[in-house]
Amino acid sequence: MTSRVQPVVVRDVVLGEGRPKIVVPLTGRTVEELRVEVAALAGHPVDVVEWRADHFAELTDVSRVVSTARLLADDLAGRPLLFTCRTTAEGGRASLGDERYGQLILAVVESGAVDLVDVEYERDRAVVDGVLTAARERDVPVVASYHDFTGTPGRDQIVDRLRAMQDRGADICKIAVMPHGPADVLTLLEATRIAHERYVDRPLITMAMGPLGVVSRIAGQLVGSAATFGTVGRASAPGQVPVDALDAALRLLDYETNAGNE
């Protein structure tokens, strides 16, 4: 099977090639808590760090958010930093209107402090397009995201949404769903495979959340999901597993390195 995916390279991490990359969220409320979380990453298999800024107590102070992003990037010493402000509509904590949401993300992109930025695809169209344009100018790859915390859309709906993200110019297309039974998990995996093999030529990140969905967090290489979120400390979404176990599972399922075992 040949992959048509154009990998996204952030520092020394290649998304869209080989084993899925491990992303760890930081959910501290203060600068001090965040720095403790960064220090705790030492010795763990972590490819990318996500700052879930919606947990930050000073989220409404844009310059404080930017200076904190810089500080975290320094502390991370070369590990890529993904900036995410997850709103309440998508399972996060930030209740920001479209305008303030857009201003915050734009300020972070324009600061040059982060390596990747998440934008919620369902936000106001002009806001999403504004972020995509600014990020392109600054060479900051954009992860377009969509979360359904209530259920799992049908297979074709998931595929269509991933394609729509690509058509709008996202560099990476991400969908998280909530399964209510094993069939929902299989729907998510099958939709990912179809999008990856037939329609989307850039990295995808998909997951079924909650305990039922754990298999989707380790099966990415099989179906074409380029990254998976795991924990060092607190989880940012239901079903995330600790990174050491996650890494062991990804290695076990790595069919490229298993090829010699036939």
Q: Can 147 be counted among the known catalytic residues?
A: yes
Of 19, 21, 52, 155, the one binding ligand DQA (CB under 6 A) is 52
Yes or no: say if 172 and 202 are a contact pair by the CB < 8 Å rule: yes
Give the C-alpha separation, 208 to 169, whole Å: 24
Yes or no: say if 245 and 226 are a contact pair by the CB < 8 Å rule: no
Q: Can 174 be counted among the known catalytic residues?
A: yes
Residue 2 contacts by C-beta under 8 Å, 6 or more apart in sequence? Answer: none
- What six digits make up the tokens of 208? 């079924």
Q: How far is the CB of 229 from ligand DQA (least distance, A)?
A: 3
From edge to edge, which strands make up the β-sheet containing 116-120? Answer: 204-208, 172-177, 142-148, 116-120, 81-84, 48-52, 21-26, 227-229
Residue 258 contacts by C-beta under 8 Å, 6 or more apart in sequence? Answer: none
Q: Is residue 55 involved in binding ligand DQA (CB under 6 A)?
A: no
**DSSP structure class, residue 20:** P
Q: How far is the CB of 190 from ligand DQA (least distance, A)?
A: 18
Give the C-alpha separation, 161 to 81, whole Å: 25
Of 41, 106, 173, 176, the one binding ligand DQA (CB under 6 A) is 176
Q: What is the DSSP string of 193-219?
A: HHIIIII--S-EEEEE-TGGGHHHHH-
Q: Is residue 172 involved in binding ligand DQA (CB under 6 A)?
A: no
Give the C-alpha separation, 101 to 128, whole Å: 10
Q: How far is the CB of 235 from ligand DQA (least distance, A)?
A: 8
Q: How far is the CB of 258 from ligand DQA (least distance, A)?
A: 25
Query: Which lies closer to ligand DQA via its Cβ, residue 47 or residue 50?
Result: 50
Catalytic residue among 44, 147, 180, 196: 147
- Contact characters 83-102, ligand DQA, x per CB under 6 A: -x-x----------------
Q: How far is the CB of 81 from ligand DQA (least distance, A)?
A: 13
Is residue 15 helix, strand or coil? strand
Q: Is residue 152 involved in binding ligand DQA (CB under 6 A)?
A: no
Residues placed in the known binding site: 50-52, 86, 217, 236, 240
Q: Is residue 25 involved in binding ligand DQA (CB under 6 A)?
A: yes
Residues placed in the known binding site for 3-dehydroquinate: 50-52, 86, 217, 236, 240
Q: Under rule CB under 6 A, which residues in 128-147 are in contact with ligand DQA?
A: 145, 147
Residues contributing to the site for ligand DQA (CB under 6 A): 25, 50, 52, 84, 86, 118, 145, 147, 174, 176, 207, 209, 229, 236-237, 240
Query: Would you please indicate which residues are annotated as catalytic (active-site) residues?
Result: 147, 174
